[in-house]
Structure 1
Amino acid sequence: MTKLTETQTIILSAGAQRPENIALPLPKGLHGAAAKMAVTKMMERGWLQEVDANLRRNEPLWRETGDGHGTTLVVTDAGLLAIGIEPVVVKTLVAIREHAAKATPPKPPTLRPGTKQAMLIEMLQTDKGATIAEIVAATDWMSHTARGVISGVLKKKLGLAITATKVDGRGSVYRIG
């Protein structure tokens, strides 16, 4: 096993416990030139690797590369081996955590009675259904808001099956189910 400094051991051990083996944030008190020197030595030995940061997932930045992009530090398989951890074990634990997170079904959203959303759902559950004009009159929403609630909230968020059919004299009529 390779001889590691205390700082190197802390960085690699913490990174091994994080999703995607991200080595950031570095330990408290390690910043500036000392942080750069420690990271550079670890990269030279192949224990850390600099990769593009996924800013959508708010991954911590090691350095900015410009144009709103940046890099983060990831513990490599060699880094895991340096602290005595088999990379396969880490990957298996990550897979188990992800499976456990997916196994618990999300709690269905609760509908509060008396809200405009509840009123809209009641209108769409009737045999008659509702047009955008009727929804606008009942809720005081703008027409684009009514369409947005139907597609964004009812369809995507709540997972309701909304159908639209053309009816002579009424236009597009929306119904649930």
Structure 2
Amino acid sequence: MPKLTDTQTIILSRAAARPDNLAMPLPKGLHGAAAQKAVAAMIARGWLEEVEANLRRGEPFWRETGDGHGTTLVATEAGLAAIGIEPVVATTTTNLRKAKLELAPKPKDASAAQTHSATTKSVAIRAGTKQAEIIALIQRPQGASISEIVEVTGWAAHSARGMISGGLKKKLGLAIISEKVDQRGTVYKIDVA
């Protein structure tokens, strides 16, 4: 892992926990020239990316572009990998968050928008954990059976099923489907539809 400053670690960790991996707002006390220097270094290393801000969704913006639009900062896969979050897992959770936000009913007023954004789940999944291993297994096109998950994790079958239903479906909000397959038993997959 690359050597990060405390500020860089805080920015990337907070971004990993936000929907769409938004790096804004920056930590309290980081503004002006210090913020510009920190962000410029992180963009140069490929850890942050400047993208157009969606002001209708209330995304905080980093700077104005001069044409009435603004940009915001997003942590990249390289940035998430720098703090130990597996890129495959980061991409999956980011894509699922985006899909949830697109499918969510649009609030009618500003107070409803604030309530909606406050209830959106944000999670960060550390690389090398059993949870990350299970997510990698079930996001394969063929999915994973309980016996395959047990083999990889070393857990009992009931623990693997508990992680899928409690940890992945309920806590992380992943759309996981299951189906009976001959010779494999129940196979779990992440629903990409």
Q: Into which bin does the TM-score normalised by the smaller protein fall?
A: 0.5 to 0.7
Paired residue for 2:71? 71
Percent sequence identity is: 68
Q: Which amino acid aligns with 2:44?
A: E
Paired residue for 1:47? 47
Report the aligned-residue RMSD.
2.5
Paired residue for 2:57? 57
Q: How many angstroms does 1:101 deviate by?
A: 7.9
In the alignment, the residues of structure 1 paired with residue 27 and residue 99 of structure 2 have an alpha-carbon distance, to the nearest angstrom, of 30
Aligned-partner SS, 1:8: helix
Aligned positions of 1:99-138 closer than 5 A: none
Paired residue for 1:31? 31
In the alignment, the residues of structure 2 paired with residue 102 and residue 50 of structure 1 have an alpha-carbon distance, to the nearest angstrom, of 21
After superposition, the Cα gap between the structure-2 partners of 1:85 and 1:101, relative to the gap in structure 1 and judged at 3 Å, is same
Q: How many angstroms does 1:94 deviate by?
A: 4.1
In the alignment, the residues of structure 2 paired with residue 104 and residue 63 of structure 1 have an alpha-carbon distance, to the nearest angstrom, of 28
After superposition, the Cα gap between the structure-2 partners of 1:56 and 1:2, relative to the gap in structure 1 and judged at 3 Å, is same
In the alignment, the residues of structure 2 paired with residue 104 and residue 78 of structure 1 have an alpha-carbon distance, to the nearest angstrom, of 29
* TM-score normalized by the length of structure 2: 0.49
Unaligned ranges ≥5, structure 1: 106-177
Q: 1:30-67, CA deviations, whole angstroms, 9 ceiling, x for partnerless residues?
A: 01110000000001111001111111111110000123
Q: 1:55-108, CA deviations, whole angstroms, 9 ceiling, x for partnerless residues?
A: 111111000012320100010111011111012212333455577789999xxx
CA contact (8 A) 2:21 2:94 kept: no
Aligned-partner SS, 2:65: strand
Paired residue for 2:92? 92
Which has the higher Rg, Structure 1 or Structure 2?
Answer: 1
Q: Across the two proteins, how many residue pairs are aligned to each other? A: 106
Paired residue for 2:4? 4
After superposition, the Cα gap between the structure-2 partners of 1:33 and 1:77, relative to the gap in structure 1 and judged at 3 Å, is same
Q: How many angstroms does 1:25 deviate by?
A: 0.4
In the alignment, the residues of structure 1 paired with residue 101 and residue 51 of structure 2 have an alpha-carbon distance, to the nearest angstrom, of 26
* TM-score normalized by the length of structure 1: 0.53
After superposition, the Cα gap between the structure-2 partners of 1:53 and 1:95, relative to the gap in structure 1 and judged at 3 Å, is closer
Aligned-partner SS, 1:66: coil
In the alignment, the residues of structure 2 paired with residue 101 and residue 66 of structure 1 have an alpha-carbon distance, to the nearest angstrom, of 28
Aligned-partner SS, 1:73: strand
